[in-house]
A = this chain, B = another copy of it.
Amino acid sequence: MLGRLACFLGIGTGWFLEMKKEYIKDILKRKNKDVVLYGWIKSKRVSKEIVFLDVVDSSGQMQAVVDKKNVSSWNLANQIAPESSVLIKGVLKRGKNNLEVGVKTIQLVGDAKLNLSPRPRQDFDIFGSSYADYVLKNRHLFLRNPKLQAVLKFKHKFLINLHKWFTEREFLFLDAPVLTELLLYDDDSAFKLDYSDKISGKQEVFLSQCNTFQLEAAIHSFEKVYNMTPSFRAEHSKSSRHLREYWHLKVEIAWANLDDLIKIAGEMLYAVAKNTVEECGNELEVLGVKVDLDKLKPPYKQITYDEALKIIHSKGNKMKWGKSFGVEEEMILTKEFGENFLFIRGIPCSAEGFPFSRDKSNIKITRTCDLIAPEGFGELLGTAEKITDKKELLERMKEKGKTTPEQMKRYQWYVDLRDYGIIPHGGIGMGIERVVRYLLKIPHVRDTISFPRLYGRYPNP
């Protein structure tokens, strides 16, 4: 759009200026001083004598005012396309409402030649489904949107606060692998790799669905371990809460039973959400969201799977015993229990992964408890005691169809852990994006991750 000026600063010939030292939020704290401002043009207004530029950077926004007497700068400001990057030098002064910068010189750094409408930094309903295709296709540009920016800043703080919470309690962050032979669910529901090795040949390699296997091995050394990395699900499901690649918190604790895990999960979720909400006032304001921390306070109500099913049946739903609750069933339950979190305990073996212990008083159900968020946001985390008895583990593997010699070989080392000083233990698994989505009330989970990989969408950066 501004081709003839595009090389004004000499971009493409090396960056020879000083690195950016001050951000807009720093500049706005000072007064009456020379300003060096690097940023992007969000929008502009042109009057006869003056061009008003709204300049943004990662920290904020301020107005730059270009007077017609300043001929060359005025000409550039008059023609510049929104989203172009600029270097402005000028003087800080008090404007009508806020501090603004009176422009002495303006240099074009990078021209915006693409024509997008709406533009990333414009105010529009970026979470609305009518813009979904457009925004996903241009995700690399729409990261600049203030709302998406606020979500990702919040998520960053949430991740860091998780690290803090676990590290302060002497959990070890285990560097568990993405590439694995061990799957929590069926081989068909995992992404398989084209993995070859000239020396050892073809190998069965998948992308991790859950790193419980590696974490369970590690507790015999570290007792309390956690991991946060991407996990992968190859299911063919199109929903507002499924990503094919998502950030997965996994925790494994030695000498802990189901009640211990439920308590720890609640305390962790509340503390980390509280710290993040308190640190992210600006981001919540941008998103127009208020988080009621009182509703997040544990302990959360607990009912059994059987009790939950009774409620669901009483509303006319005919779900069969043994299945997982879907969106419809969870909606019924959360309507019943209002705006509160709900723990559902004792999920049937048929609906849970094979490493989870059976309940000795009813071996058709597991020693598990899943946390359901209100308002249809669905399951946020799950807790489970793990099997310590080798015979039980082999039976559960058989139930889940993990019976071929090849499969047995893949899981052999995990089975062997039971023969080498095994201890009672259990774990917590949490979907980071689901929690962020719930806290910020984002319609679709795709908008809680920078580059979402969704079933049925192409291409995905």
Candidates B193, B213, B257, B461; contact of A19 at CB < 8 Å: B257
A109-117, A265-273, A323-331, A338-346: which one contacts chain B?
A109-117
Q: A178 interface residue, CB < 8 Å from B?
A: yes
B111–A421 touching, CB < 8 Å? yes
Q: Which of A387-435 contact B (CB under 8 A)?
A: 388-389, 391-392, 409-410, 413-414, 416-424
- Check A178/B245 contact, CB under 8 A, given A109-B424, A152-B172, A214-B450: yes
Question: Given A172-B156, A178-B230, A450-B175: A200 and B458 within 8 A (CB)?
Answer: yes
With both beta carbons as reference points, the residue of chain B lying nearest to A247 in the complex is identified as: B175
Interface: A201 (CB within 8 A): yes
Q: Across the interface, do B15 and A451 meet the contact criterion of CB distance under 8 Å?
A: no
* Pick from B15, B180, B230: contact of A461, CB under 8 Å: B180
Q: Which of B114, B203, B451 contacts A420 (CB 8 A)?
A: B114
Q: Is A222 on the interface with B (CB-CB < 8 A)?
A: yes
Interface check A229, CB cutoff 8 A: yes
Which residues of chain B are within 8 angstroms of A458 by Cβ–Cβ distance? Answer: 197, 200-201, 203
Q: How large is the interface on A (under 10, 10 to 19, 20 to 34, 35 or more residues)?
A: 35 or more
Which of A148, A197, A418 is most buried by chain B, counting CB atoms within 10 A of its CB?
A197
Binds B, one of A139-147, A307-315, A371-379, A438-446: A139-147
Which of B167, B421, B449 is A112 in contact with, Cβ under 8 Å? B421
Given contacts A260-B19, A456-B199, contact A83 B421 (CB under 8 A): yes
**Are A14 and B360 closer than 8 Å at their CB atoms?**
yes
Chain B residues with Cβ below 8 Å from A12 are 388-389, 391-392
Contact B218 A143 (CB under 8 A): yes
Q: Are A179 and B456 in contact (CB under 8 A)?
A: no
Is A242's CB within 8 Å of the partner chain B?
no
A174 touches B11 (CB 8 A): no
Q: Are B199 and A455 in contact (CB under 8 A)?
A: yes
* Residue of B177, B389, B449 touching A230 (CB-CB under 8 A): B177
Q: Which of B175, B419, B451 contacts A176 (CB 8 A)?
A: B451
Q: Do A175 and B421 contact each other (CB < 8 Å), given the known contacts A11-B389, A388-B110, A459-B181?
A: no
Residues 169-191 (chain A) with a chain B CB within 8 angstroms: 172-182, 191
CB-based contact A179/B222 at 8 Å: no
The verdict on A175 contacting B449 (CB below 8 Å), with A20-B223, A194-B193, A220-B144 known, is yes
Query: Is residue A160 contacting chain B, with contact meaning CB distance below 8 A?
Result: yes
Query: How many Å lie between the Cα of A73 and that of B245 in the bound state?
Result: 51
Residue from B175, B199, B220, B222 in contact with A40 in the complex, judged by beta carbons closer than 8 Å? B220
Q: Is A385's CB within 8 Å of the partner chain B?
A: yes
* CB of A383 closer than 8 Å to a CB of B: no
Contacts of A13 in B (CB 8 A): 360
A202 to chain B, nearest CB (A): 10
Query: Quick check: A461 and B182 within 8 Å, CB to CB?
Result: yes
Q: Within 8 Å of chain B (Cβ to Cβ): is A198?
A: yes
A221 contacts across to B, CB distance below 8 A = 58, 143-145, 148-149, 152
Q: How far is the CA of A38 from the CA of B271 in the complex (A)?
A: 28
Asked if residues B198 and A236 are in contact (CB atoms below 8 Å), the reply is yes
A453 in the interface, Cβ–Cβ < 8 Å?
yes
Per-residue B-contact encoding for A54-97, CB less than 8 Å = 1, 0 else: 00011000000000000000000000000111000000000000
Question: Does A195 lie at the interface of the complex (its beta carbon under 8 Å from any beta carbon of B)?
Answer: yes
B461 touches A413 (CB 8 A): yes
CA distance A423 to B111 in the complex (A): 9
| A126 adjacent to chain B (CB < 8 Å) | no
Q: Does A159 contact B (CB under 8 A)?
A: yes
Cα-based distance from A140 to B215 in the complex (angstroms)? 10
Contact of A193 among B174, B191, B391 (CB under 8 A): B191
A163 at the interface (CB under 8 A from B): yes
5 A-B pairs, CB-CB below 8 angstroms?
A144-B220, A156-B174, A175-B449, A177-B230, A203-B458
Closest 5 CB pairs of A and B: A12-B389, A15-B424, A199-B456, A200-B458, A110-B422
